[in-house]
């Protein structure tokens, strides 16, 4: 690493550790983790806020970073793929059940449910952190949406039991911080085995990043450990899907291809 890069990292860490506390977004990233569901929910909301004028200005700059713009595009593509999946299940079965394996506050799931309000579409939200499930429940209640909740480990086979089997499984941003392809394979296997034939899998992959090394050195993950986000080439993901028996129907992404969002079908 060059001297210039070390200086850049030092300056940015100083800003995050000092003035960053004035920005609601940067403060949230420091407190809850850069990859937490709560952080992503704040990014999706995209409403700059902070203490004093400088805090709001810094928050606006933070939210408008090209990387977060890509993440918001990922959310839009996720919503489109999920709506496509719901429509196909409704045509095939007459009712649809969604399960998000690591939902966080689940803004995108609630948005989709609202669009299908009055139709036989239901969802179960799962997450290790009960706080975000309770927040999602509160939001759902305010919007008049009925959603089931369960604290569960998305990588634990014993937690892949269901009172009502899902037709659609969702994993958004979940694979961004696993650097072991075997963990991704395990997750996708658990999801495949939980779906019925012709069930659907909607998920995202981080295939690129504007400043991955810099981001990893400045921020922490939701466990308060040094961030270790990774990128994955779809050439490594596609064989897993094929070997399991998934057929990719749709892939949507941002212009630079940083965040492909796939809709796959169990065949």
What confidence tens digit (pLDDT) does each residue in 150-201 have?
999 999 999 999 999 999 999 998 998 788 999 999 999 999 999 999 999 9
Structure tokens at 81: 């793929």
21 compared with 267, residue with greater pLDDT? 267
Element (H, E) at 182: helix 181-194
Does domain 70-266 bear CATH number 3.40.50.150? Answer: yes
- Enumerate residues 6+ apart whose C-beta is below 8 A from 221: 33, 34, 35, 36, 177, 227, 228
The residue extents of the domains of the chain are 3-67, 70-266
- pLDDT tens readout for residues 81-100: 999 999 999 999 999 999 99
- Ramachandran area for residue 198 (φ above 0: left; ψ -120 to 50: alpha; else beta): left
Question: Is 6 exposed, middle or buried (CB count within 10 Å of its CB: 0-12, 13-18, 19+)?
Answer: exposed
pTM of the predicted structure, to 2 decimals: 0.85
Least confident of 37-51, 99-113, 118-132: 37-51
CA–CA separation, 211 and 214 (whole Å): 5
- pLDDT tens readout for residues 39-91: 777 888 888 898 888 888 888 988 888 888 888 999 999 999 999 999 999 99
């Amino acid at each position: 690493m060059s001297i210039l890069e070390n200086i850049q990292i030092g300056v940015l860490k100083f800003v995050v550790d000092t003035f960053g506390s004035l920005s609601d977004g940067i403060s949230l990233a420091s407190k809850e983790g850069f990859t937490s569901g709560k952080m992503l929910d704040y990014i999706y909301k995209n409403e700059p806020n902070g203490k004093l004028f400088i805090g709001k200005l810094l928050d606006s700059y933070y939210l408008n970073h090209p990387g977060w713009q890509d993440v918001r595009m990922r959310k839009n593509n996720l919503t489109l793929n999920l709506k496509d999946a719901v429509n196909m299940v409704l045509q095939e079965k007459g009712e649809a059940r969604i399960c998000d394996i690591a939902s966080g506050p689940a803004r995108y799931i609630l948005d989709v449910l609202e669009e299908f309000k009055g139709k036989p579409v239901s969802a179960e939200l799962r997450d290790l952190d009960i706080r975000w499930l309770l927040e999602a429940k509160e939001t759902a209640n305010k919007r008049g949406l009925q959603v089931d909740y369960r604290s569960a480990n998305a990588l634990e086979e014993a937690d892949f039991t269901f009172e009502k089997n899902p037709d659609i499984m969702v994993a958004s941003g979940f694979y961004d911080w696993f650097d072991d392809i075997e963990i991704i394979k395990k997750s996708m296997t658990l999801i495949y085995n939980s779906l019925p034939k012709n069930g659907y899998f909607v998920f995202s992959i981080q295939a690129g990043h504007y400043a991955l090394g810099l981001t990893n050195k400045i921020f922490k993950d939701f466990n308060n450990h040094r961030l270790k986000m990774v990128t994955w080439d779809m050439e490594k993901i596609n064989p897993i899907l094929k070997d399991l028996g998934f057929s990719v129907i749709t892939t949507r992404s941002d212009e630079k291809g940083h965040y492909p969002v796939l809709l796959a079908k169990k065949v």
